[in-house]
Amino acid sequence: MKGFRRLAYPYAIWAVIFVVVPMLLVLIYAFTTRGNSVLTFRFTLANFARFFSDKIFISVLLRSLKIALVTTIICILLGYPVAYAISRFSPNNQALCVLLVTIPMWINMLVRTYAWRGILLETGLSPEMKVYIGMVYNFLPFMILEVYTSLSKMDPNLSVAAADLGCNNRQVFTKVILPLSIPGVLSGITLVFLPAVSSFFIPKLLGGGSFVLIGNLIENYFVTTGDWNFGAAISLIMTIIILISMYFTRKFDYTEEERA
């Protein structure tokens, strides 16, 4: 057992360097002020007060949450039927369909978004609609794969038993298939909502610079203005929002498991 435990050391070191240390730096910058070209280690809440006292920043945050929520809902509405249809195919056809879903993911997301920029350039659609298209296109495969994984693990005899007990097709779906696939839906929600709410290059490329989300705001303060303290404060706010959403998602998942 001790030998296997040592195998985790490289991953622990990796997590400390690339997860723990960056988060500590974000915390330090978020609660400090900038001095004469150096960091002044003086505790302050001014960065957070600045964010919540400005209506523009609040509107950007609400817009980001709205975009992520609508994108997630659209991905559920489109992804669940596709995943359900794939799960009903023969094993060989299932493997082919999964391959077709994942093939676009082999190409870098930035390259795919640039391609959509060219496609949507002369369509006359609003910047918001272009951003929705880019979001759904990039994140829909995650929803399909998670729901499909949940459905493919389901025992088909459960549907047969429900039908033998007098359930019609609609009742079999609503009382057996849908409840048992909720864990996959929740995993898909996590994989879609979290990157969508913090995305910055999709609205930047498809929104034409006129559609700003919270990710663009963070990028601007880190890269353009150089105000790392305020950028770190916004990042920390987004981290807290993401952690809260993950908590409620997992809590709902546990509630569904207890009911089952």
Q: Domain boundaries in the chain? A: 55-259
Residues in the chain predicted with pLDDT less than 50, given as ranges, are none
pLDDT at 162: 80
- Quick one: tokens of 215? 């990710």
pLDDT at 259: 55
pLDDT at 12: 86
pTM of the model: 0.86
- Residue that the structure tokens 């190409």 belong to: 107
Domain 55-259 homologous superfamily, CATH: MetI-like (1.10.3720.10)
Q: Which of 70, 120, 17 is nearest to 9 (CA)?
A: 17
- Quick one: tokens of 110? 């930035």
Query: Can you count the helices (H) and strands (E) in the chain?
Result: 14, 2
pLDDT at 169: 80
Residues 71 and 142: their CA atoms lie apart, in Å, by 12
> How many CA atoms lie less than 13 Å away from 84 in the CB half-sphere?
14
pLDDT at 7: 75
Q: Which of 92, 97, 65 is nearest to 79 (CA)?
A: 97
Residues 158 and 84: their CA atoms lie apart, in Å, by 15
